[in-house]
Amino acid sequence: MGFLERVRQKYIADRASGKPVVILGIESSCDETSASVIRDGHEILSNIVSSQIEIHKRFGGVVPEVASRRHVENVNDVVEEALQQAGVTIEDLSAVAVTYGPGLVGALLVGVSWAKGLCWSKGIPMIGVQHIAGHIYANFLSGGMEPPLLALVVSGGHTELVHMPAHGEFEFLGRTRDDAAGEAYDKVGRAMGLPYPGGPQIDRLALEGNPQAYAFPRAWIDERSMDFSFSGLKSAVLNTMHNAEQRGEPWKVEDISASFQAAVVEVLVEKTVRAVHHTGVKNVVVAGGVAANRGLRAALTKRAEEAGFHVHFPRFDLCSDNAAMIAAAAFPMYLQGKFHDLDLNAIASLSLTKWKDTPTISL
């Protein structure tokens, strides 16, 4: 019996039995090998994240080939640990969800090849997940979340305002024209001599500094634009530090951090308010690594109260890359019976809006 037929029979039997939907998620798009087991789309039974950050620190950033090699060595143990901690066996799995883009292609291929090997062996439905959609769905792990939603996606590679009218459907309202917010954080962090990655350090230092110490620019682009630009801000910060050093004046890392963060956060918050007004959608979720930023959380929560909309952040530990969010994003597709075939490929530049276009088999 062929793979698709085995998958079809399993799906029909599992749906008829009325047992809970148990999805194994696998994520390997960058430098974290992660596996997670999720029940009914939001209940986390396990979420194992094996970080390579200590390995890549010495190189000053992620080395793609090193990351891929580590994923190969880690993946079996990480999945085994996730199954064990969840108290389930492969036989209990309803489906397997795997990140297939965007990301480092060599790294993505490890997760994708592994998922295909498992699904083929056991006739399990497989769902390829777009990584950024995963970050958005990290908010669904708290339960009770339904589209339509607005998503503010902020990470090292992304700064986007996204409208999500229905499950799996996304349209861009605005995006960065140059650096991503997280990228600006990392570059400013490096210039101040902070250890990699700089974002969390700046967030911490900002609490102790004066956000009005420096008047850094805010790029509004034009009155209605929901696009972002952070390269001007980044240059202004670097120039300020450079000029101070030229004049032999000291600068306080806390004040630079606080003033820089205030500029980033103000733009993120106000553009989100614009998106709420523009769409009339009153539920906002924040997604990506920068969703853990305390300054952003405080400012956006306060502004949402004033402007009369609801904002939701993922749990702190679910802001960075993890497989629980990948499994969560696959849940609506599982319910629709939309799966991927064994020719699923890793796509380094897979766009959020293109996710729904990848050919799926409908059972």
Partner 1 sequence: MPYLALDTATTSLSIAVGERGRLFGEATTQLSRNHSVKLMPLVESLLESLDIAPDQLQGLIVGRGPGSYTGVRIAVTAAKAIAFSLQIPLVGVSTMDGLARHGALSDALVVPLLDARRKQAYTAMYENQNGAFVKLQEDRLLGLDDIIRGIHSRMVVRRLDKSKPAQVLLLGDGAENHRAELQEKLGDKARFATSSSQNFVRAAHLLDAGIAMLEAGESHDTATFAPEYLQLVEAEVKWNAAQQAKVAVTKEGDAK
Where is the binding site, in residues? 131, 135, 153-157, 186, 199, 203, 293, 321
Find which of partner 1, Zn ion, none residue 118 binds, CB within 5 to 8 Å per kind: partner 1
Among partner 1, Zn ion, none, partner that 321 touches (CB below 5 to 8 angstroms by kind):
Zn ion
Query: Residue 38 or 110: which CB sits closer to partner 1?
Result: 110
Residue selected from 321, 340, 344, 350 as contacting Zn ion according to rule CB under 5 A: 321
Contacts of 339 (CB under 8 A, 6+ apart): 7, 11, 95, 125, 126, 127, 333, 360, 361, 363
Does the footprint of partner 1 cover residue 1 (CB under 8 A)?
yes
Applying the rule CB under 8 A, the residues between 320 and 359 that interact with partner 1 are 341-346
**Which stretch in 8-16, 69-77, 199-207, 354-362 sits in contact with partner 1 by CB under 8 A?**
69-77
Contact status: 58 vs partner 1 (CB under 8 A): yes
Binding residue (CB under 8 A) for partner 1 from 17, 121, 349, 362: 121
Question: Is position 14 an interface residue for Zn ion (rule: CB under 5 A)?
Answer: no
Q: Helical H runs in the chain? A: 3-17, 53-57, 64-86, 105-122, 131-137, 181-191, 198-206, 231-246, 253-279, 294-307, 323-336
- Tell me how far, at minimum, the Cβ of 30 lies from Zn ion, in Å: 7
Question: Considering the complex, what minimum distance in angstroms separates the CB of residue 346 from partner 1?
Answer: 6
Q: Tell me how far, at minimum, the Cβ of 190 lies from Zn ion, in Å.
A: 20
Take residue 55 and report the two structure tokens written for it: 């390995």
Map tokens 């430098």 to a residue: 31
**What three-state secondary structure class fits 276?**
helix
Binds partner 1 (CB under 8 A): choice among 90, 166, 207, 298: 90
Rounded (to 5) percent helix, strand, coil in the chain? 50, 20, 30
CA distances from residue 250 to 189, 198, 209, 240, 241 in whole angstroms, order as listed: 17, 21, 14, 11, 9
76 binds, among Zn ion, partner 1, none (CB under 5 to 8 A by kind): partner 1
Q: Which residues pair with 26 in a beta bridge?
A: 35, 98
Distance CA 230, CA 191 (A): 15
Answer yes or no: are the C-beta atoms of 290 and 300 closer than 8 Å: no
| 114 touching partner 1, by CB under 8 A | yes
With CA atoms as reference, report the closest residue to 273 among 298, 306, 232.
306
Residue ranges binding partner 1 (CB under 8 A): 1-3, 58-59, 63, 65-66, 68-69, 72-73, 75-77, 79-80, 90, 105-106, 109-110, 112-118, 120-123, 341-346
